Amino acid sequence: MGMKCIGVDVGGTSVKIGLFEVTGTLIHKWEVPTRKEEGGKYIIEDVSNSILKVLEERGISLDEVEGVGMGVPGPVMPNGYVEVCVNLGWRDMYPEREMSERLHGLPVKSGNDANVAALGEMWQGGGKGYDDIVMVTLGTGVGGGVIIDQKIIAGKHGLAGEIGHMHIRDDETESCNCGGVGCVEQVASATGIAREARRKMAALDIPSVLREYGDNVTAKDVLDAAKAGDELACMVMEVVGRYLGLTLAHISMTTDPEVFVIGGGVSKAGPFLIDNIYKHYNKFTPISQNKSKILLATLGNDAGIYGAARLILD
């Protein structure tokens, strides 16, 4: 019997849990609902109980488990302290300690969910075989994670990899939910792409299939239309590609990873999106032809549990 490890990905609506071989093979995955009431105080208890139950059902003793890794939606300090997790209601917590106590002293390590997803992609996903990757997750928001020498770079204040909140756009007037203006997230997230499309429809009178959707237009509508050659949608994606290319160029000049891995719902657009980013990324990095490649993430929604499990193996 090989040793096992467990990955926990705490989300706003559900907590995903995976049981792995330490070699990286996923044995079993399941979910428990995220109970946010009373400041999210039941989450750790629910997850711990669920883990103990699954281990018991599968006849796995705690001695066979290296430990549990956990991704949480907010900054995690190096000592495991979580000041605030807005989406969970957590404040002033040490979730690792609490979970370890409930799991009879099993080691527990935690990290920010986007950083942890990046680690998962490095271990068993789109970044497999590389030691230095930067992952950019294009979902409802834009997340990021920086991995150097197979380790998460969290930074001294937990802000490393907050790629979504880099300021890249000077002509933006609306505020981002972080309080800043002109963030990557405002133009390259699913929400941002849809907003860009609404703006273009209002500003220009060129015909477009997007007009059928009106204010309900989604990022997927935009990407599908752009792939089919719709002029307005292509203009939207030109803006998105330009700012993503610029963002990756800035990161290249700072950390120069081996590869960028692009994930999140928007990355389902596949090579069309990657080619669009490359065009602008290359334009902003004329200094060298020898630079980071841009690849697609492959683990989808499982990146978090893979990365969380990998956390505990260091």
Helix (H) or strand (E) holding 284: helix 271-284
Helix (H) or strand (E) holding 8: strand 4-10
Average pLDDT over residues 214-239: 97
Among 125-129, 159-163, 199-203, 268-272, which is the least confidently predicted range? Answer: 159-163
Greater confidence (38 vs 291) lies with 291
Give phi and psi for 210, each to the nearest 5: -65, -25
Q: What is the largest CA-CA distance in the chain?
A: 67
Are the C-beta atoms of 154 and 119 separated by less than 8 Å? no
Q: What is the CA 248 to chain-centroid distance, rounded?
A: 16
Give the Å distances, CA to CA, from 186 to 107, 181, 248: 38, 8, 16
Domain segments of the chain as ranges: 4-120+302-311, 129-298
Give the Å distances, CA to CA, from 120 to 90, 136, 145, 246: 24, 13, 10, 25
**Superfamily (CATH H level) for 129-298:** ATPase, nucleotide binding domain (3.30.420.40)
Report the C-alpha gap between 206 and 284 in whole angstroms: 29
The pLDDT of residue 1: 63
Count other Cβ atoms within 10 Å, centred on residue 243.
22
CATH number 2.40.40.20 is the correct assignment for the domain at 4-120+302-311: no
Among 50-59, 83-92, 107-116, 158-167, which is the least confidently predicted range? Answer: 83-92
DSSP-derived secondary structure letter, 66:
E
End-to-end Cα, the chain, rounded Å: 21
Q: Which two tokens stand for residue 48?
A: 């711990």
Q: What is the CA 119 to chain-centroid distance, rounded?
A: 10
Same fold across 4-120+302-311 and 129-298: yes
pTM confidence score: 0.92
